[in-house]
Amino acid sequence: MNEFPPARRHWFFPTALLSGLCLGLLAGCGQRVTQIQKAAKEGIMIVGNGAEPSGLDPQTITGIPERNITATMFEGLTRNDPETLEALPGQAKSWEFSPDGLTYTFHLREGLVWSDGVPLTAHDFYNSFRRLLSASLGSDNSDQLYDVVNAEAYHKGRLQDFSQVGFRVIDDLTLEIRLAHPAAFLLKTLGSRTWVPVPLHVLEKFGDPLHPGSPWTRPGSLVCNGPFMLKEWKPNSYIEVERNPRYWNRESVKLNGVRFIPMENQPAEEAAFRSGQLHKTERVPLTKIAVYRREAPEKLHIHPYSGVYYFNFNVNKAPFTDVRVRRALAMAVDRESIVRNVTLAGEIPAYHFTPEGISGYVSRSRTKLDFAEARRLLAEAGYPGGKGMPPITLLYNTAENHRMIAETIQQTWKIELGIDIQLENQEWKVYLDNMQNEFYQICRAGVIMDPYDPSQFLRVFTSDSGFNRTGWADPEYDRLYTQVMNTADQAERLELMQQMEKILTDAMPILPVYYYTNQYLMDPSVKNWADNLLSLGPFAQVWLD
């Protein structure tokens, strides 16, 4: 799972990028060699990446800016097809599974090595999974391994012996994974960052590898196993990865490197792109989408994205301890107007959490736009016409789209419900920390989930999910999720998930707004790019014309 950020008010330009941009504005792009043209001669692709990453440890990161970078440097047993996301051989050259779908045996490629030349074996995967499931690491990603036998029990301390967890090293090149229940999507999810190995032989040099915060991810220390490896990290300036000469499929990699620019101010990012400083942006300012549709459609890319944009209610802080208040506010959001007049990129209004169509799932439970009912619920809760409502602050990480959506909702609640709310924007790292620790009343949120099974989305609001930042928990919801994961019949599974969605929608610890599309700008010189539902950059197959 990934959390969707970008941006903040106080942004930074790399010195070289700023000077190049100034030259472009003064002299005009046609009268000089642009930054991307210079970089292309060196085989370097320059991309906007939203926020400055909070870290590069693939087992502990949760955000999209971090994932974009680590996905170029680490590879799991499988990798995902750049277009379809189907499972392709990665570090494992082949696999087989038992007739009951519970035991998978993976055969690693001969001669695999880490980027420092140390052999990579099945033991590295085994030890990496043990690290991820160690409670001391405190990773929010641990529950994504719960499909494995005894993984949850080990992570929660009910089991002390990791050898009882469903991972077994048969020999240096063979790894067995035993599942607690069938998971038809396993091979695809094995390509995600949760399942990649980390170099324990490097982490051990910096102390206990089971504790977070190790400096092993800095340049000169970070060792990886993917198509690229870390070259430079200049905070608030850029992160550059270079081709990994020890990657098993290195001959297919065309780029010499990728330079990620943490440019969080979207209008500034668009200006940099326009003046030839970026091959690709992270986003498009909402006010520029129509302009590019009209004047440069070949540079504008919009495609479906497997995620949902929503707001968390902190159910432990007034007035959101009252479900009637949460339901009232959710009913007083005009989602159709937001996607039609604000976001402008084909987003789909969300009246429940789980996107429709995954494995044939369409939720029967949904909220609705109903200002009269919202006013009635508020009055019933003791706030007629908004009177007596305690101060409310809505927190978001600064970006033009987040601000515009928040202001639209703020205005609607004022007009229709008589509620005044304050808006507070914070830079990505601060915002993320406050959300994770539930230091908020209402908080913008967004998740990008594997589009393989609806349960992947519904898992987010189980009581022990690292991504449930609402304070809400429901034993029946948890019980149903366990039942879903232990049920083989797909029709029965889908019906159980309907029950989960009803509990979630009735309790309304969140306010879903819309299902994402991804929008970005790309220079036509980038060749062989492919879009997919997770917006995973296919840098290993790209070249520059």
pLDDT for position 488 = 83
User: Which pLDDT tens digit goes with each residue over 120-179?
Assistant: 999 999 999 999 999 999 999 999 999 999 999 999 999 999 999 999 999 999 999 999
CA atoms within 13 A on the CB side of 245: 3
Express each pLDDT in 3-34 by its tens digit: 544 333 233 333 333 333 333 332 334 446 89
365-388: average pLDDT? 97
- The answer to whether the CB of 10 falls within 8 A of the CB of 222 is no
| All domains in the chain, ordered by first residue | 1-73+226-281+522-545 (3.40.190.10), 75-211 (3.90.76.10), 303-518 (3.10.105.10)
Condensed to tens digits (0 to 9), the pLDDT of residues 34-45 reads 999 999 999 999
Whether residue 231 is predicted with pLDDT greater than 50 in this model: the reply is yes
Can you tell me the distance from the alpha carbon of 517 to that of 302, in angstroms, rounded to the nearest whole number?
7
pLDDT tens per residue, range 461-484:
999 898 999 999 999 999 999 999
Condensed to tens digits (0 to 9), the pLDDT of residues 311-329 reads: 999 999 999 999 999 999 9
So what's the pLDDT on residue 32? 67
Closest CA to 196 of 260, 138, 135, 124: 124
Q: What's the whole-number mean pLDDT along residues 71-100?
A: 97
Percentage of residues of the chain with pLDDT beyond 90: 87
333-355: average pLDDT? 96
State the pLDDT confidence band at 502, using cuts at 50, 70 and 90: very high
Could you please report the per-residue DSSP string of 145-181? Answer: GTTBTTHHHHHTTS---GGGSSEEEEETTEEEEEBSS
Region of 28 (left: φ > 0; alpha: ψ -120 to 50; beta: rest) is: left
Summary mean pLDDT of the chain: 92
Is residue 2 very low, low, confident or very high in pLDDT (cuts 50, 70, 90)?
low
pTM of this structure: 0.86
DSSP 240-274: EEEE-TT-TTGGG---SEEEEE----HHHHHHHHH
Supply the pLDDT for residue 202: 97
Question: Beta strand pairing status for 442-448 and 392-397?
Answer: parallel
Residues 275-292 have a mean pLDDT of 95
In this prediction, residue 18 carries a pLDDT of: 36
Query: CB atoms < 10 A from the CB of 382, how many?
Result: 13
pLDDT exceeds 90 at position 291: yes
Residue 259 above 70 pLDDT? Answer: yes
Peptide bond into 319 cis (omega under 30): yes
d(CA 170, CA 92): 14
User: Within 13 A of 3's CA, how many CA atoms are on the CB side?
Assistant: 29
Average pLDDT over residues 216-221: 94
The bridge status of strand 174-178 relative to strand 228-234 is: unpaired
